[in-house]
């Protein structure tokens, strides 16, 4: 019988601030690594083809779909997942709190992608227009909300983030 051993690769990934050295199959997706090896199940498994956005994470400061990202290609990347948005003491970040306050989700299946894309948007733009929000979230599908409450949550998140930045500098 043919030898079924598969190639493995050593990766050193900083995930939510913690370094993980892992030997993984060369074909393993980042999504499988997060969920199966590290139990970071806040990143959701949806279409597995790069279309729904539920698996979105941040890689070196830019959002990416983890279902179509091979973990072995990431070298020493810094990765943030939805769990990593929470403050160190467990408090929800202003973005998470805004989505909660504004009912920016119903079943929450899309929430990881919506929140990670909102976090990236607000890094670059402290007062996004409706059009800019739609562009930033375009790769994320929501089957429940009709998107209105999500847009409202993003605007509330911008307000909260701006307020906490102002308070920190006063």
Strands 78-80 and 56-59: antiparallel
Residue 81 phi/psi, 5° resolution? Answer: -110, 175
Tell whether residue 142 is a contact of ligand FES (CB under 6 A). Answer: yes
**Residue 52 or 85: which CB sits closer to ligand FES?**
52
CB of 168 to ligand FES, least distance (A): 31
Q: Report the alpha-carbon distance of residue 65 to residue 69 in Å, rounded.
A: 7
Residue whose structure tokens are 């597995």: 48
Is there a contact between 150 and 114 (Cβ–Cβ < 8 Å)?
yes
The number of angstroms, rounded, from the C-alpha of 28 to the middle of its chain's C-alpha atoms is: 18
Q: How far is the CB of 61 from ligand FES (least distance, A)?
A: 19
Name residues contacting ligand FES, limited to 52-91 (CB under 6 A): 52-55, 65, 67
Distance (Å, rounded) from C-alpha 120 to C-alpha 61? 7
For residue 43, give both structure tokens.
């990143």
Q: Interface with ligand FES includes 138 (CB under 6 A)? A: no
CB of 110 to ligand FES, least distance (A): 3
Q: Is 103 in the site for ligand FES (CB under 6 A)?
A: no
Candidate segments 10-18, 78-86, 105-113, 119-127, binder of ligand FES by CB under 6 A:
105-113
Residues that bind ligand FES (CB under 6 A): 45-48, 50-55, 65, 67, 105-110, 142-145
């Amino acid at each position: 019988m043919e030898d079924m051993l598969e190639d493995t690769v050593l990766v050193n990934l900083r995930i939510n601030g913690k370094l993980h050295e892992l030997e993984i199959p060369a074909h393993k997706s980042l999504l499988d690594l997060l969920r199966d090896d590290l139990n970071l199940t806040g990143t959701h498994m949806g279409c597995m083809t790069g279309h729904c956005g539920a698996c979105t994470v941040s890689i070196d400061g830019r959002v990416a779909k983890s279902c179509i990202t091979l973990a072995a290609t990431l070298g020493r990347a810094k990765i943030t997942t939805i769990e990593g948005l929470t403050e160190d003491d467990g408090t929800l970040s202003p973005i998470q709190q805004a989505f909660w306050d504004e009912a920016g989700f119903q079943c929450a299946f899309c929430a990881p992608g919506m929140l990670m894309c909102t976090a990236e948007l607000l890094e670059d733009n402290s007062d996004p227009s409706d059009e800019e929000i739609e562009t930033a979230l375009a790769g994320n599908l929501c089957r429940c909300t009709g998107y209105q409450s999500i847009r409202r949550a993003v605007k509330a998140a911008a307000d909260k983030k701006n307020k906490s930045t102002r308070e920190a500098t006063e």
